[in-house]
């Protein structure tokens, strides 16, 4: 065998042995692979954990990091461009004014900043929109206009109703015309409580206490049969509780005087309105007795007695003569009220009495009112009148030296001094109405306690 052939044989043999050894090794390794893989994996994660623990503390301290200031210039929009855009946009304005006495439509629109011929013509000619001219002085009127004065809408409250307030709305429609509508909006009822101290007169005190004039008039009517308002004095005071009705934060109207108390010359008079149902009601004392008397103390709300029921020297004849009535000095035009329910027996001139009204009552009672300047509308013979109804106005007709009311109280046509006549009260409440009345009276009594804490405190100190 040649040398080259020997080398080839040896190489092939060696390759076969090597392949056998490799096959055996692979077979052995297959039995050990599962356990070794698990061991190597556990060792790998352990090393990673140790490495993480060792690396974390090596992070740099944030306080030592370098700080770099970056400046970047921002481009702001031009102010002139913004103003130009605003000018190009249509602006809208809402304005409110109070209607003044003597206002015309032109003067009202001018104050509101409305420069709109079409709107003015619509308000003058439209049968619904024309009611804006009938709104009473003091009412608020609101409009929305463009910057050129073009009207977009108008809103004003007009006459109220029992259920709400009627509001006129005038708005521009899509066809550049206008539409006027009347809507009834529900009013918000509020209960007001006020106090006043008498310094000179009742009206001065109510004005100072910001009490509306209609409520002041109701105070007089509430207490006119128990208080002589001609004889108020310093130290007298009153507390009142009354209704007001509001719409959109605006006072629309005052309501009824619900309760009141009045201390006059050390005597406290209290009254509460009680609704008896069916639209009827009246003022009662807190114990349920009606305050309505058969006759008023005076036919005039405010006046002074210039001559009483007595002998006197007649101002015209100069002779001593019995004065058969009471003279109340008052300015011309002061309203004269019927002192009790009855029927007008005479209304016209009568000798020295001048213009005179005689009212016939019951049981032979009658009252006479002389020297009137004029009669109230509808005051004529045969007409029924109620207590407090205006029947005429103070004047100086007939034998008179100045404006005043001559008032006579007659029994079977004989003049009597009204101050000597026993005045009867109306009937008290029925027994079945008393529980409801006591609830109303208790609520008002609580309100009065809230109105006079200082006076109550002074009274408690004095009692000690």
pLDDT tens track for 364-390: 889 999 999 999 999 999 999 988 899
Q: Which of 357, 323, 355, 351 is nearest to 337 (CA)?
A: 357
Q: Could you tell me whether strands 311-313 and 355-360 are parallel, antiparallel, or unpaired per DSSP bridges?
A: unpaired
- The pLDDT value recorded for residue 63 is 73
Q: Which of 114, 119, 109 is nearest to 93 (CA)?
A: 114
More confident residue, 16 or 194: 194
- Structure pTM? 0.51
With 70 as the cut, is the pLDDT of residue 334 above it? yes
pLDDT (tens digit per residue) in 236-267: 999 999 999 887 777 878 899 999 999 998 89
Among 121-135, 393-407, 444-458, which range has the highest average pLDDT?
393-407
Mean pLDDT of the chain: 78
- The pLDDT value recorded for residue 429 is 74
Chain-centroid distance of CA 67 in Å reads 64
- The pLDDT value recorded for residue 295 is 82
pLDDT (tens digit per residue) in 254-303: 899 999 999 998 899 999 999 876 656 788 888 888 877 778 878 887 65
3-state secondary structure the chain: CCHHHHHHHHHHHHHHHHHHHHHHHHHHHHHHHHHHHHHHHHHHHHHHHHHHHHHHHHCCCHHHCCCCCCCCCCCCCCHHHHHHHHHHCCCEEEEEEECCCCCCHHHHHHHHCCCCHHHHHHHHHCCCHHHHHHCCCCCEEEEEEECCCCEEEEEEEEEECCCEEEEEEEEECCCCCEEEEEEEEECEEEEEEEEEECCCCHHHHHHHCCCCHHHHHHHHHHHCCCCCHHHCCCCCEEEEEEEEEEECCEEEEEEEEEEEEEEECCEEEEEEEEEEECCEEEEECCCCCECCECCCCCCCCCCEEEECCCEEECCCCCCEEECCCEEEECCCCCEEECCCCEEEEEEEECHHHCEEEEEECCCCEEEEEEEEEEECCCCCCCCEECCCCEEEEEECCCCCCCCEEEEEEEECCEEECHHHCCCCECCCCCHHHHHHHHHHHHHHHHHHHHHCHHHHHHHHHHHC
């Amino acid at each position: 065998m040649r040398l080259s052939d020997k080398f080839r044989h040896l190489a092939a043999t060696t390759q076969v042995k090597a392949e056998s050894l490799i096959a055996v090794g692979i077979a052995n390794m297959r039995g050990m692979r599962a356990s070794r893989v698990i061991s190597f994996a556990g060792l790998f994660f352990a090393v990673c954990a140790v490495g993480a623990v060792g690396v974390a503390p090596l992070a740099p301290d944030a306080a030592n990091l370098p700080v770099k200031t970056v400046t970047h210039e921002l481009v702001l929009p031009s102010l002139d461009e913004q103003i130009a855009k605003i000018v190009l946009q249509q602006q809208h304005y809402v304005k409110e004014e109070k209607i003044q006495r003597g206002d015309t439509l032109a003067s009202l629109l001018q104050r509101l900043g409305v420069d709109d011929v079409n709107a003015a013509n619509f308000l003058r000619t439209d049968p619904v929109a024309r009611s804006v001219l009938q709104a009473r002085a003091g009412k608020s009127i609101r409009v929305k206009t463009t910057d050129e004065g073009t009207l977009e809408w108008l809103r004003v409250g007009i006459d109220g109703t029992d259920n709400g307030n009627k509001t006129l709305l005038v708005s521009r429609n899509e066809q550049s015309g206008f539409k006027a509508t009347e809507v009834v909006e529900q009013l918000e009822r509020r209960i007001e409580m006020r106090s006043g101290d008498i310094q000179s007169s009742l009206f001065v005190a109510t004005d100072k206490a910001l009490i509306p004039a209609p409520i002041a008039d109701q105070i007089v009517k509430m207490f006119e049969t128990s208080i002589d308002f001609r004889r108020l004095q310093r130290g007298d005071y009153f507390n009142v509780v009354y209704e007001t009705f509001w719409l959109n934060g605006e006072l629309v109207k005052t309501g009824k005087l619900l309760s009141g108390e009045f201390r006059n010359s050390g005597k406290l008079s209290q009254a509460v309105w009680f609704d008896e149902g069916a639209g009827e009601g009246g003022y009662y004392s807190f114990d349920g007795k009606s305050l309505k008397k058969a006759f008023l103390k005076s036919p005039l709300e405010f006046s002074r007695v210039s001559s009483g029921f007595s002998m006197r020297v007649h101002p015209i004849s100069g002779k001593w003569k019995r004065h058969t009535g009471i003279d109340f000095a008052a300015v011309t035009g002061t309203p004269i009220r019927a002192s009790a329910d009855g029927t007008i027996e005479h209304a016209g001139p009568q000798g020295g009495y001048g213009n005179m009204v005689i009212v016939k009552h019951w049981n032979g009672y009658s009252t006479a009112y002389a020297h009137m300047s004029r009669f109230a509308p509808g005051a004529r013979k045969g007409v029924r009148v109620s207590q407090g109804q205006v029947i005429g106005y103070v004047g100086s007709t007939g034998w008179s030296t100045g404006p005043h009311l001559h008032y006579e109280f007659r029994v079977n046509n004989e003049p009597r001094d009204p101050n000597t006549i026993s005045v009867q009260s109306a009937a008290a409440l029925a027994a079945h109405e008393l529980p409801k009345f006591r609830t109303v009276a208790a609520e008002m009594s609580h309100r009065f306690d809230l109105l006079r804490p200082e006076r109550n405190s002074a009274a408690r100190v004095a009692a000690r």
